[in-house]
Amino acid sequence: MRNIFERVKQWNTLTRIWHLYDAKWQDPFDSAKVIQKYLKGLHKPIYHPLADCGDHVVVINCKEIAMRGDEWRKRAYFHHTGYAGGGTYTLAWELHDKNPLMIMKKAVYRSMKGNLQRRYTMERLHLYAEENVPQDIIENISSVIPQLRDVPMRLDRMPEDQVKGYPKIWDLPKDYVVR
């Protein structure tokens, strides 16, 4: 053991770390690819499929996920009850109305290979629709997974002097009637 950092590195590898991920304005399918690596422990040097070295990931703001372009109404989720004629297709926005956690959960579940370990790995995923997380979960968190996309700023929420004082790239023509 060379120094204190090496020691901490070893603790982080051999213990279960709790990571926080803010899903606000994030694509659930891109995020799932990142989250599943932490759940399986792929980011650790000692990773082996049989070594139980995966971490916990707490995902907050699942209600605020963003999808690209038309995907909210183009993506359909299929479910079959098992009875004849029991198949249903639910659009992504309809599913999100019913359960704001389901799209994120299915995205992570599908990003992993279907083996016996998958159900146990999913147990380490903790999803929350909003920012309020129970205290006993918050206490464990010691790491943050960086967001994949910047959260865009809304024009009406920017300070007014910043909007008015921002450099203009062209001027209105003479005799333009302001509307």
Partner 1 sequence: MLRSITGMNNGLSFMKQMLLSANVRCFSVAAVNRVKEIIVTKDNKKTIIEGILKPSDRVNLLLDPPADTNHEACSICRLDVDIKHTDVLILSQFMRSDGGMLPRRVTGLCRTQQKRMSKLVTMALKAGLMPNLAPANSKRDPARRDKFKKNHRYFDESTIRPPFRMKYPEDRSLH
Residues found near partner 1 in the complex (CB under 8 A): 25, 27, 64-69, 72-73, 91-93, 96, 149-150, 152-156, 158, 162-179
Cβ 124 to partner 1, closest distance in Å? 26
Looking at beta carbons only, is 113 or 149 nearer to partner 1?
Answer: 149
Name the residue among 164, 177, 23, 179 with its Cα closest to residue 103. 23
State whether the Cα torsion 154-155-156-158 is positive or negative.
Answer: positive
What is the distance between the alpha carbons of residues 92 and 101, in angstroms, rounded to a whole number?
A: 12
Cβ 91 to partner 1, closest distance in Å? 7
Cβ 3 to partner 1, closest distance in Å? 43
Instruction: Return phi, psi of residue 178, to 5°.
Output: -70, 135
Looking at beta carbons only, is 45 or 167 nearer to partner 1?
Answer: 167
What is the distance between the alpha carbons of residues 141 and 20, in angstroms, rounded to a whole number?
A: 7
Cβ 8 to partner 1, closest distance in Å? 37
Looking at beta carbons only, is 13 or 27 nearer to partner 1?
Answer: 27
Cβ 170 to partner 1, closest distance in Å? 4
Angle of helix 102-111 relative to helix 28-40, nearest 10 degrees? 60
Strands ordered across the beta sheet of 125-127:
125-127, 56-60, 18-22, 141-144
Looking at beta carbons only, is 14 or 76 nearer to partner 1?
Answer: 76
Looking at beta carbons only, is 70 or 139 nearer to partner 1?
Answer: 70
Tell how far CA 140 is from the center of its chain: 19
